[in-house]
């Protein structure tokens, strides 16, 4: 079976077409076998895609730990694969999230989920406790995101700072943790620690979305460039709405088609 590899803003994903996988395919099991660094491909996630047809293009994503979650960067990168829809824009159902993909000057953009179940929410913990009084925000966009403003993202020991927050009792299902540093009127640096990966990733697209929504709410400026750990910036455009909601939140950035790989059967041995 062939895996198709692509990256978005530094994160690399494997993709399989549903009509090419064997009957034994099980998403969580395969993700846990194929993704880990050091003993497999070192991926940020695995996708199973349906062939394009009538209605939204459907796909499902699994994290390294086998959890099924919405992944914005992986969904963006899928649009650059051979066999993907050739349209300039298309509706997509990604892990049940209704999004839209488009080709634009930055590469490929994704319109994030909006409406009920998304948006900024009150930070569910005492800011002067776990967060040391730092400005912070919490939001939902297919997964939970905590954003903490810091003076310098490069000086944060994320491996020490993030896990206690990721597993904080305020988050029954855990949360991704993002640290952000303002570096200009419409620019910021960001680093992210993702649940499921249980480590720092080069760019968390949903984390960038919630971060930009918070910054837009604070400043009234709806366009942001976020400098990610990958060295590849992403741009976010959105319209803020009352109550912490947003509309037309687009995350755009580069994607790359990497190639194909054939997994060895030994990867699936315990």
**Average pLDDT of span 149-175:** 94
pLDDT tens readout for residues 199-227: 999 999 999 999 999 999 999 999 999 99
pLDDT confidence tier of residue 106, bands split at 50, 70 and 90: confident
State the Cα–Cα distance between residues 233 and 43, nearest whole angstrom.
Answer: 20
Superfamily of 119-253 according to CATH: Diaminopimelate Epimerase; Chain A, domain 1 (3.10.310.10)
Percent of the chain with pLDDT over 70: 99
* pLDDT surpasses 90 at 228: yes
Q: Which residue has the tokens 């997964």?
A: 143
Pair 127, 105: CB distance under 8 Å: no
Residues with a catalytic annotation lie at 71, 204
Pair 180, 150: CB distance under 8 Å: yes
Q: What pLDDT was estimated at residue 159? A: 96
Distant-in-sequence, close-in-space partners of 144: CB < 8 Å, separation ≥ 6: 138, 171, 173, 174, 175, 176
Pair 74, 13: CB distance under 8 Å: yes
Find the Cα–Cα–Cα–Cα dihedral 75, 78, 79, 85, rounded to 10°: -110
Q: What pLDDT was estimated at residue 54? A: 86
**24 or 76, greater pLDDT:** 76
Pair 51, 17: CB distance under 8 Å: yes
- C-alpha distances in angstroms, 70 versus 97, 105, 130, 267? 7, 24, 27, 25
- C-alpha distances in angstroms, 58 versus 67, 246, 249, 262? 18, 24, 20, 23
CA pseudo-torsion sign 203, 206, 211, 217? positive
> Which residues of the chain form CATH 3.10.310.10?
3-108+255-268, 119-253
User: What are the structure tokens assigned to 152, written together?
Assistant: 């310098």
pLDDT confidence tier of residue 266, bands split at 50, 70 and 90: confident
User: Which of 9-13, 17-21, 123-127, 175-179 is the least confident region?
Assistant: 123-127
- CATH hierarchy code of domain 3-108+255-268: 3.10.310.10
Q: What pLDDT was estimated at residue 207? A: 96
* pLDDT surpasses 90 at 130: no
Pair 211, 221: CB distance under 8 Å: no
- Kindly state the DSSP code that residue 51 receives in the 8-state scheme: P
pLDDT tens readout for residues 20-67: 999 989 999 999 999 998 889 999 999 999 999 889 999 999 999 999
pTM of the model: 0.93
Q: What pLDDT was estimated at residue 128? A: 64
User: What are the structure tokens assigned to 33, written together?
Assistant: 């076998």
The overall average pLDDT reported for the chain is: 94
Q: Is 58 helix (H, G, I), strand (E, B) or coil?
A: strand
């Amino acid at each position: 079976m062939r895996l198709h590899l692509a990256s978005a803003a530094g994160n690399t994903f494997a993709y399989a077409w549903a009509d090419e996988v064997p009957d034994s395919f099980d998403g969580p099991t395969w993700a846990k076998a194929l993704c880990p660094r050091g003993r497999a491909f070192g991926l940020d996630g695995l996708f199973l895609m349906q062939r394009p047809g009538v209605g939204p293009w459907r796909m499902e994503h699994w994290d390294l730990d086998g959890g099924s979650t919405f992944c914005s960067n992986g969904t963006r990168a899928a649009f650059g694969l051979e066999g993907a829809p050739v349209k300039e824009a298309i509706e997509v159902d990604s892990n049940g999230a209704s999004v839209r993909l488009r080709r634009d000057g930055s590469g490929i953009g994704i319109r994030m989920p909006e409406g009920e179940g998304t948006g900024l929410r009150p930070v569910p913990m005492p800011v002067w406790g776990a967060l040391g009084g730092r400005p912070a925000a919490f939001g939902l966009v297919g997964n939970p995101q905590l954003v903490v403003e810091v003076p310098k993202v490069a000086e944060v020991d994320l491996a020490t700072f993030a896990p206690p927050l990721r597993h904080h009792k305020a988050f029954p299902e855990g949360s991704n943790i993002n640290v952000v540093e303002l570096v200009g009127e419409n620019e910021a640096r960001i680093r992210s620690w993702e649940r499921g990966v249980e480590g720092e990733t080069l760019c968390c697209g949903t984390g960038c979305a919630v971060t930009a929504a918070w910054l837009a709410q604070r400043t009234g400026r709806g366009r942001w460039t976020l400098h990610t750990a990958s060295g590849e910036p992403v741009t976010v455009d959105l319209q803020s709405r009352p109550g912490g909601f947003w509309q037309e939140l687009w995350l755009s950035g580069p994607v790359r088609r990497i190639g194909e790989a054939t997994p060895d059967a030994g990867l699936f041995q315990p």
